[in-house]
Chain A
């Protein structure tokens, strides 16, 4: 069952994130994918996250599809103008990719090429509009395409951002522009997330909550410093600091968060630091396997 069908069926969705390599060797991908095969509904393939140069997500998404794993390809507005965005969307369709997560992208100065020219010709709402048009068989300028795309578009939201009225502006526009599902940035604070869901439940869009199992107190600190918009409660950091087995403690914290939010959303999205060695264990811990 592909992601769209799974979401429509109303089932609780599990997705997981893979980051393409910085280099030409994609063998690591296959071992990661093997860990996820059969335990997730789809795998997200990131698009040069934190503005670091990495392999294009087009290639890896297509490889995963060959392995019969449904993928959600990330596409940012940071590195492509409207021509390149549409070109990549056509390519994605041709390669069998059906799910695309439209996002603005981390800013260039965060990454390893701080002097790159930031593009941002479109914003994520406009990218979603483009996908909607292409699904109807037209490009952004209403020129007919030789064949419409059939892309299932998703959007991102930070459920920890406040004030909520401020978050609402763009979220609502994303949905009107054609977002059919939402994947969120990492949730560490279940209360903040549930408050967010209470506010937006009436929008009736499937929300898949992002989960990052912490690996150490240090990694928590790193995330607060380096990932925009991440909020980690002090209690979680304290637990990580005093844990004798921090990896297991991080999984426990993640499982508890999932338990506390799962009634309120339609899925979770696992984004581990490093690899997926413990993803299966995490899903077992919160009875999702």
Chain B
């Protein structure tokens, strides 16, 4: 899941300040942003209300099934004709949806969210920094856990000096290396941690 956070309304207003009179359509996404309550139906409605209070010319709001995967612009406006009447799209999806709309249409496209992490949804809990798409997956050395993304310092070869008694010195959560150690110990794979991993080969898949 792609984790997003709502931008402060002031930051959104700064972006639409000059184009307030143009016809604005708010676009949500029911997938990750919907589940995270940053860009689903209620959030889109709430955004419309806030913008109207500030006298922004909002014409409507729609929630796409998945803003990151669109067949074509034509099929999109066929499904949601109101989009074609708009001059500005304020998009409440992750950066992928925003980028895709930005290149598909000739309208002004503005993000309403910040995209912060690739996470996981575990029941009601959102786990952040589960993968940072490094391009060379090495979690096989850690029985699936990822220190490149789970450790803010991307320590591939063991914990940093600040890791102590299990807590991460940076984030308010368990040190990923404590987790790795526990998992590897439980699975009888501790000796695998003695292997020194070489620097990641970034960009190789692009």
Q: Is B144's CB within 8 Å of the partner chain A?
A: no
Q: Which residues of A contact B159 (CB under 8 A)?
A: 161, 166-167, 169-170
Q: Is B57's CB within 8 Å of the partner chain A?
A: no
Q: For the complex, what is the distance from the CA of A167 to the CA of B152, rounded to whole Å?
A: 18
Q: Is B178's CB within 8 Å of the partner chain A?
A: yes
Interface size on A, residues (CB 8 A): 40
Look across to chain B and name the residue whose beta carbon is closest to the beta carbon of A166: B181
Q: How far is the CB of B198 from chain A (nearest CB, A)?
A: 7
Q: Which residues of B contact A161 (CB under 8 A)?
A: 159, 161, 163-164
Q: Is A217's CB within 8 Å of the partner chain B?
A: no
Q: Are B194 and A104 in contact (CB under 8 A)?
A: no
Q: How far is the CB of A271 from chain B (nearest CB, A)?
A: 14
Q: Which residues of A contact B170 (CB under 8 A)?
A: 107, 109-110
Look across to chain B and name the residue whose beta carbon is closest to the beta carbon of A157: B161
Q: A104-B155, A109-B170, A120-B154 are in contact. Are A228 and B199 (CB under 8 A)?
A: no
**Of the residues B153, B181, B196, B199, contact of A104 by C-beta under 8 Å:** B153
Scan residues 167-202 of chain B and give those whose CB is less than 8 A from a CB of chain A. Answer: 169-170, 177-178, 181, 190, 193-194, 196, 198-200, 202
What sequence of 0s and 1s flags, for each residue 147-172 of chain A, a beta carbon within 8 Å of any chain B beta carbon? 00000000011101110011101111
Q: Are A126 and B156 in contact (CB under 8 A)?
A: yes
Q: How far is the CB of B183 from chain A (nearest CB, A)?
A: 13
What sequence of 0s and 1s flags, for each residue 167-208 of chain A, a beta carbon within 8 Å of any chain B beta carbon? 101111100110000000100000000000000000000000
Scan residues 101-149 of chain B and give those whose CB is less than 8 A from a CB of chain A. Answer: none
**Of the residues B163, B164, B196, contact of A176 by C-beta under 8 Å:** B196
Q: Are B196 and A123 in contact (CB under 8 A)?
A: no
**Of the residues A82, A123, A165, A185, contact of B156 by C-beta under 8 Å:** A123
Q: Which residues of A contact B198 (CB under 8 A)?
A: 126, 129
Q: Is A122's CB within 8 Å of the partner chain B?
A: yes
Summarize B's interface: helix, strand, loop or mixed: loop
Q: Are B157 and A173 in contact (CB under 8 A)?
A: yes
Q: Is B162's CB within 8 Å of the partner chain A?
A: yes
Q: Which residues of A contact B178 (CB under 8 A)?
A: 166
Q: Are A173 and B161 in contact (CB under 8 A)?
A: no
Q: Is A35's CB within 8 Å of the partner chain B?
A: no
Look across to chain B and name the residue whose beta carbon is closest to the beta carbon of A130: B199
What sequence of 0s and 1s flags, for each residue 59-98 of chain A, a beta carbon within 8 Å of any chain B beta carbon? 0000000000000000001100010000000000000000
Q: Are B152 and A118 in contact (CB under 8 A)?
A: yes
Q: Is A246's CB within 8 Å of the partner chain B?
A: no
Look across to chain B and name the residue whose beta carbon is closest to the beta carbon of A231: B164
Apart from the given pairs A129-B198, A229-B161, A231-B164, 8 other A-B contacts in the complex at a CB distance below 8 Å: A107-B169, A110-B170, A160-B164, A161-B159, A161-B164, A173-B157, A173-B194, A229-B164
Can you sample 10 A-B contacts with CB below 8 Å? A78-B153, A120-B155, A121-B199, A121-B202, A123-B156, A158-B162, A173-B158, A176-B196, A177-B196, A228-B161
Residues of A participating in the B interface, judged by any CB pair closer than 8 Å: 77-78, 82, 103-107, 109-110, 118, 120-126, 129, 140, 156-158, 160-162, 165-167, 169-173, 176-177, 185, 228-229, 231
Closest 8 CB pairs of A and B: A170-B158, A228-B162, A228-B169, A125-B157, A169-B158, A158-B161, A120-B154, A107-B170
